[in-house]
Structures are given as C-alpha cells and as structure tokens.
Chains A and B, each alone.
Chain A
Amino acid sequence: MNKLLKSKGFQNASASILSIIFGFVFGFIVLLISNPANAVGGFLTILSGGFTGGMKGLGQTLYLATPIIMTGLSVGFAFKTGLFNIGASGQFIIGAFTAVFIAVKATFIPTEILWLVALTGAFVAGGLWALVPGFLKAYRNVNEVIASIMMNYIGMYLVNFMVVKTVFDAARNQSMTPTRAIIPKVGLDTLFNGSNVNLGIIIAILVAIIAYIVLEKTTFGYELKACGYNRSASQYAGMNSKRNILLSMVIAGAFAGLGGGLLYLAGSGKHIQVVDILAAEGFNGIPVALLGLSNPIGIIFAAIFVAYINVGGFYMQLYKFVPEVISIMVAAIIYLSAFSLFFREQISAFFKKRTEGK
C-alpha cells in the first residue's frame, strides 16, 4: 500500500484528480452566482453527463471523444518528447480537408476502401503539416510554440481557400458532404441508438494503444523521450536528436490530422465551415493531454471524461444554463493542473510525513 501511495504514477494521477475536483467546485460556484435556484439541478446534470440521455448520450460521449482522443494524443505525444504542440488545430483541419477532398474527388477508388484511403490521407497530411515546425525546431532552433501558432493560421486560411476552390458548396458556404467515404458504423449505431458513434472511436483507441507501446516499449520511443528530457545528453549518447525532434513532431501532427479525418468522415453531417475561426478540437486536445498526464492510455480516459461533461453541458440547457460553463470549468482544471508540480510536492510531502510519523 505504501509503495502504491509513494509511486509516481499515483501521485501524478491524484494531482490530476485534485485539479478536476477543484474545477468542479469552481464550476458549481459559477452556476450558483449566475442562477442560484437552478444551480444544483444544473450541476447534477453536468455530473451525470453522458448518462443523461441514456444510450444515446453515451454514444454521443464516445463520438465527441473520438477527435479529442486524437488531438490529445497529438499534444501528449509531443509533451512526452519535450515539445509543446499547440499546432494540433492546424494539423487537425489540414487532415480534415484532405479526408474530405479524397472522399469527394477520388471517385476512381472503390467505395469499400475509400474511407480508409481518405483517413490515411488525413494522417499523412497532418504529419506533413507538422513537419514545418518540426524542421524549424530541429534545424533552425525556432520555438515550436510560435511556429505552430503561425502554422495554425496558415492552415486555417489555406483550408478555407482550398475548400472554396475544390469542394465548395456555395449555397451553404461550407464544404461538400462526403457521402461515399463514411466510416463504417459496425453495429455501434444500433447499440447506441440515435447517436453518431462509429468505428472511429475504436480506431482512436487502437492508435492510442499503439502510441503507448511505441513510447514505453520500444527503443525508438525511448530515444524520442530521451531527446525530450535532454537534447545534449542524448546527442552525446549517439542519438540523432535532430531527426528525433523532427519525427516526434511529425507523429504528433499525424495523430491530429487523423483526428480531423475521423470527425469529418463520421457521417454526422459535419462540414468544414469557411470561417476564419481555428478548429476548437485542436485546442481541446491540450486539456485532454494534460489531464491524461500525456500518457496515451490516460488520454483515452481524459478525452472520454471531457466529452462526458460536454454532453452534460448540452443537456444542462434544460435548466436555462449556457453550455460554455463547461469550457470555464475545463479552463479552471487546466489552470490548476499547471500547478501540478506544486500539488505533487504537497501530496508526496503529505505521505512522507505520514509514513515517517509511524
């Protein structure tokens, strides 16, 4: 028991859970201030989240979790290798566009495998988009945060431009609907009747597991992490740190790109809107990665958690609350998880004291 309490994993997880609890308390206070009469009802709706709508609500939770598992993985994988990928938004939308483009234009590919080709395209495109900040970081010493922010905006404007030029539905000012390359439902739609869940969630979870194996069980993953911990030391140990930084970024980008493909081929009627707004899914990957402690398995749960409270936020409108309160809560949770170093120190000091006291 003591060993478990002192283990790093436990302390990390309890820091996350502590942040979540404080975040919920903060959210409740916001509800109390804005509408005391309905605050309790609204708050319980957030808590019951994905369960609110029965099987449909659960299915929606999984559907909403799919893209943010991928962007969370993108951010988390980069974190593990010492990089902050704030560019998941750009990589996501580039992936989304590539998937939609292939789905609409590649009429020569048989329908049965078209969705697979389109998803592969999204994966590759996201990776290529991240190649730019990766290259600049590795070879030109450019801060990847700034480079990724620039790439976000370039990606957004470029996708808007390309949508208008290639797959445009002018009447609705959005991209066309890819009808031929919808990801199979594999029976999930009957299980979770009325929701948009599909094979995508299983793909996302599989990718997360692969990411976990690569990071934790292979030499390649070890090298990537080593370069993140200490670039000079790994260089000295004979690793090609430049190549590793580049690859870390590309893999991270590919995850986000695939996330874009998974969302826009879900057959839920999502279109790429031609508006000058960055894709929110990319930024939502950041809290997911932080809550999941950048561990791919943790990220699966974190993404489902964030999706779960978002479904709760949707149903909370019954109590005349605005769903943005969920974003406020998530922001509070991230803000607190930025303190995680402090929390961890406190928690480990607490347990240390307890064991010493005996």
Chain B
Amino acid sequence: MDTIYFVFQNSLLFTVPLVVVALGGMFSERSGIVNIALEGIMVIGAFFSIFFIKTFQGSIPPQLLFILAMFIAIIVGVLFSLLHAYASINMKANQTISGTALNLFAPAFAVYTARMVQGVSQIDFENNFRIPKVPLLGDIPVIGNLIFQNVYITTYIGIGILVVASIILYKTRFGLRLRACGEHPQAADSAGINVIKMRYTGVMLSGALAGLGGLIFVVPISTNFSGSVLGYGFLALAVLIFGQWKPSRILFAAFFFGMMKTIASTSTIIPFLADLSLDPAIYKITPYLATLIVLAFSSKNSAAPRAAGEPYDAGKR
C-alpha cells in the first residue's frame, strides 16, 4: 500500500504542471493559435519566479512566498506570450516559427541573465514548501494518504484550474466564442465576435498557465533552476493532443504521462516493477510512443480546432 501511495504522490508532482500547461495550450489552440512556445514560456515563468523566491526566501513565510511567486510566474508568462500573440495575430506570422523563436530565446535569456547577475547559471533555492500532512483531511483513510499527505499547495490549485477551465470552456459565453474562433473565425466574425480580441485572450491565458506551470513543475522536484524545464512544455503539447483538446481527457492523459515519468525514475525501487527489470528507457519512451500511436489512429477525424495555425484573414469570409 505504501508503494501505491508513494507512486501516486510522486505522479501528482508531474501530473499537476502537465495539466496546467496543457490547459494553457488548450485555450490558445481553441482560439485558433498554435502555441509550441509553451516550453519557452515555462522557462521564463520559472526563471523570474524562482529568482524571486531565492531573493525573498527567509523574509516571507514559505507558503505566502510560493503564492506570490505564482503570481509573478503568471504575469511574466502573459507578457512573454504577448510576443507570440502579436507575431501570429497582428503580423500573420507563421505560428510555428514564432513559437520556435520564443523557445530559443527563453533558455538563452535565463542562462545569460543568471550568469550576468550572479556568475553561475544555476539559481539555488530552498524547498520548504512541502506540506507533510494537511490537518484533519490528512487523517482520512486512503484518500488522506493519496492527496492530503506529502503534498504541495499546487495540487489543489491545479485541480481548481482544471475545474474552472472546464466551466469556462463549456458553460460560459466566452468559452463558446473562443471555440468558435478556433473552428471557423470567419463565421464567428460575421456573428459579431471580435476574433482578434478572442485570440489574444486565448494566447494570454496560455501564457499565464504555462508561466505558472513552469514554476510549479520546478519547485516540487528540485532545489535549483538552470534555464530548462526538460522538455515538459513539449510533453504538455503531447498531453493536449493525447487529450483531444478536452479538459477531462487532458487530466487523464497527464496522469498517464505523470505516472510513466514516476515509474521511469523509480522502477528499481518499486518491488513489482523491479522484478520485471525493464530498462527505465522503456518507461521514458512510452508517453511519446503512446501519443504517436493515438495520433496515428485519431488524426483522420482529428478533434483539433479546425482553424488552429491559420492566421485570420477577414477577406476569406
């Protein structure tokens, strides 16, 4: 039983940021803008917020500091994503190229700035944000062990974001309009929806969530940051597609990926998997391979937003 709790708790550390970032990607793509810059936005968000944590650690109580850092990550993420929004919406740029530029820029900027400011590229911080046990709730049998022990506040924030995102996307006027812009922007425009505004909102939401995702990915699993989120932005993109651009499936996909990541790094200490003695590489490859297979069988009638990736041209109405 302890093994199950251990795997589950660790999987959550990977799952939550994946869900958050993939939901960000969902808002952007649902509005019609492909955002492969998620990786770069995560790096920028993590960089500024972790620098903030390092600077104020000790003078602000840990949980409050963590929450303030999240706000910084969100704001920085939004600002950075505006570059992508401007290029792909106003300048009608190729969205993949613009995203690639952001992905190149972010780690270079993070390493450059860190080395110019403090001499080394690695930003160290003390990880004192873990909550060993939530009072009362942590004592509930089974569930308490699963989600109220050895947990970070980010888990609950992530769940909150998932619920809110589903409601926004499916139950609000804004969500309907956003989806319309991703499917058929010309029709949406004819119906009086401001496509440009909707797409900006979509990209900015993705910036906010990816920036936040960068911070909450790095903090629980590390005590330093050196300009990289290890390809999690791209993994989140895979989660988004694996999840068919739907919040509930994104959760499922992210959990599957998160569990695979956990197993890859811990397979030798989990009794039943250690007996199989498979190479960790197999678990590492599985999420990517699974995504490819799912794509191969689902892309004929893909659920991808129809207009994603195309600059909006009002003349095509």
Residue of A nearest to B116 (CB): A34
Expressed in whole angstroms, the Cα–Cα distance for A84 and B97 within the complex equals 9
Tell which of B83, B107, B279, B300 touches A140, judged by Cβ atoms closer than 8 Å: B300
A309 to chain B minimum Cβ distance, whole angstroms, is 13
Q: B291 — which chain A residues lie within 8 A by C-beta?
A: 146, 150
Residue of A nearest to B96 (CB): A84
Encoded as 1 (CB less than 8 Å from any B CB) or 0, chain A from 331 to 358 comes to 1101101110110000000000000000
Give residues of chain B (124-182) contacting chain A, Cβ–Cβ below 8 Å.
Answer: none
Expressed in whole angstroms, the Cα–Cα distance for A142 and B292 within the complex equals 9
Q: Residue A322 at the B interface, CB < 8 A?
A: yes
Residue of B nearest to A276 (CB): B230
Residue of B nearest to A84 (CB): B96
B253 to chain A minimum Cβ distance, whole angstroms, is 13
Q: Residue B288 at the A interface, CB < 8 A?
A: yes
Q: Residue A278 at the B interface, CB < 8 A?
A: yes
Q: A30 — which chain B residues lie within 8 A by C-beta?
A: 112
Expressed in whole angstroms, the Cα–Cα distance for A198 and B237 within the complex equals 40
Expressed in whole angstroms, the Cα–Cα distance for A153 and B100 within the complex equals 17
Q: A157 — which chain B residues lie within 8 A by C-beta?
A: 281, 284-285, 288
Stretch touching chain B among A66-74, A120-128, A211-219, A282-290? A282-290
Q: Residue B92 at the A interface, CB < 8 A?
A: yes
Expressed in whole angstroms, the Cα–Cα distance for A150 and B302 within the complex equals 17
Q: Residue B299 at the A interface, CB < 8 A?
A: yes
Contact B108 A328 (CB under 8 A): yes
Contact B234 A140 (CB under 8 A): no
Residue of A nearest to B110 (CB): A324
Contact A154 B97 (CB under 8 A): no
Contact A339 B285 (CB under 8 A): no
Tell which of A143, A149, A328, A337 touches B97, judged by Cβ atoms closer than 8 Å: A337
Expressed in whole angstroms, the Cα–Cα distance for A287 and B103 within the complex equals 12
Expressed in whole angstroms, the Cα–Cα distance for A339 and B95 within the complex equals 10
Tell which of A146, A325, A326, A342 touches B241, judged by Cβ atoms closer than 8 Å: A146
Tell which of A287, A325, A327, A331 touches B102, judged by Cβ atoms closer than 8 Å: A331
Encoded as 1 (CB less than 8 Å from any A CB) or 0, chain B from 53 to 95 comes to 0000000000000000000000000000001000100011110
B148 to chain A minimum Cβ distance, whole angstroms, is 32
Query: What is the size category of the interface that chain B forms with chain A?
Result: 35 or more
Contact B237 A335 (CB under 8 A): no
Q: Residue B197 at the A interface, CB < 8 A?
A: no
B28 to chain A minimum Cβ distance, whole angstroms, is 15
B217 to chain A minimum Cβ distance, whole angstroms, is 15
Q: A158 — which chain B residues lie within 8 A by C-beta?
A: 281, 285
Encoded as 1 (CB less than 8 Å from any A CB) or 0, chain B from 220 to 260 comes to 00000000101100110110010000000000000000000
Contact B115 A324 (CB under 8 A): yes
Residue of A nearest to B230 (CB): A276
Tell which of A86, A141, A334 touches B101, judged by Cβ atoms closer than 8 Å: A334
Q: A151 — which chain B residues lie within 8 A by C-beta?
A: 288, 292
Known: A84-B96, A154-B285, A290-B97. A142 touches B296 (CB 8 A): yes
Contact A286 B300 (CB under 8 A): no
A208 to chain B minimum Cβ distance, whole angstroms, is 21
Expressed in whole angstroms, the Cα–Cα distance for A160 and B285 within the complex equals 11
Q: B87 — which chain A residues lie within 8 A by C-beta?
A: 335, 338-339
A150 to chain B minimum Cβ distance, whole angstroms, is 4
Encoded as 1 (CB less than 8 Å from any B CB) or 0, chain A from 282 to 317 comes to 010011001000000000000000000000000000
A-B contacts besides A331-B102, A339-B91, 16 pairs, CB < 8 Å: A141-B300, A142-B296, A143-B299, A154-B289, A154-B292, A276-B230, A286-B100, A290-B97, A328-B108, A332-B101, A334-B101, A334-B104, A335-B87, A335-B98, A338-B101, A342-B91
Question: Which B residues contact A (CB, under 8 angstroms)?
Answer: 36, 83, 87, 91-94, 96-98, 100-105, 107-109, 111-113, 115-116, 228, 230-231, 234-235, 237-238, 241, 279, 281, 284-285, 288-289, 291-292, 295-297, 299-300, 302, 304
- A sample of 29 inter-chain contacts (CB < 8 A) reads A34-B113, A86-B96, A132-B292, A140-B296, A143-B295, A143-B304, A146-B238, A146-B295, A147-B295, A149-B237, A150-B291, A154-B285, A157-B285, A286-B97, A286-B100, A290-B97, A322-B116, A324-B111, A325-B112, A326-B108, A327-B112, A328-B105, A328-B112, A331-B105, A334-B97, A335-B98, A338-B87, A339-B93, A341-B91
